[in-house]
Amino acid sequence: MRSLQLPLRVGPAALLLVLCLQLSLSRAQENTTKRKVIDFDLNMPQTAKANEEVTVQLRLQTELRECMVVKAHLQSKPPIEGAFNYKYTRCLCEDNPLTFFWDFQSNKTAKIAVVVDIIKEENICVQDISVVPNEANRYYALRTLVIE
């Protein structure tokens, strides 16, 4: 009979309910901190001389725990020829940031877009599973290279 009295008492039941609510609220707060899919660090000069070699450096990082396949390339208006058109496809993981380089020459001022796509492609990442986020799958940065 004594064991039936405990569930009928309001005090312990209320304490148990408050404890459960507190635990679920703290878990919900943990999940709301959004991880960055891609952290985009671009290093590119703003000016260059005609036919001078220009280096574009792109460093990518992710805060996601899963790895993903990324494809990085440059686009320009007017078009630039040569190594400018190299496309890189690599595996990006949280503990392994990537750095891409493009070396090229131009004799005209150009608007340049550095584009990174998250793609689904097999046999790039060592792990069998790579993710493609539901949100944005394309990241880019626009810069103008002024030729003096």
Burial class of residue 53 (count of CB atoms within 10 Å of its CB; 0-12, 13-18, 19+): exposed
CA-based nearest residue to 58, from 79, 31, 88: 88
- Sketch the domain layout of the chain as residue ranges: 2-32, 39-147
Mean pLDDT over 113-121 rounds to 94
Q: How confident is the model at residue 131 (pLDDT cuts 50, 70, 90)?
A: confident
What is the DSSP secondary-structure string of 48-100?
E-TT-EEEEEEEEE---SS-EEEEEEEEEES---GGGG--EEEEEBTTB-EEE
Residue reference for tokens 């878990």: 27
DSSP 109: -
Q: How confident is the model at residue 7 (pLDDT cuts 50, 70, 90)?
A: low
Question: To which H or E segment does residue 15 belong?
Answer: helix 10-32
What is the torsional sign of CA 148, 114, 62, 26?
positive
Percentage of the chain exceeding pLDDT 70: 76
The CATH architecture that domain 39-147 belongs to is: Sandwich (2.60)
**Strand pairing of 53-61 and 98-105?**
antiparallel
**Strand pairing of 53-61 and 39-43?**
antiparallel
Rounded-to-integer distance, Cα 146 and Cα 148, Å: 6
Residue 47 has pLDDT above 60, yes or no: yes
pLDDT tens per residue, range 50-92: 999 999 999 999 999 889 999 999 999 999 998 899 999 999 9
Identify the pLDDT of residue 23.
60
Identify the pLDDT of residue 28.
46
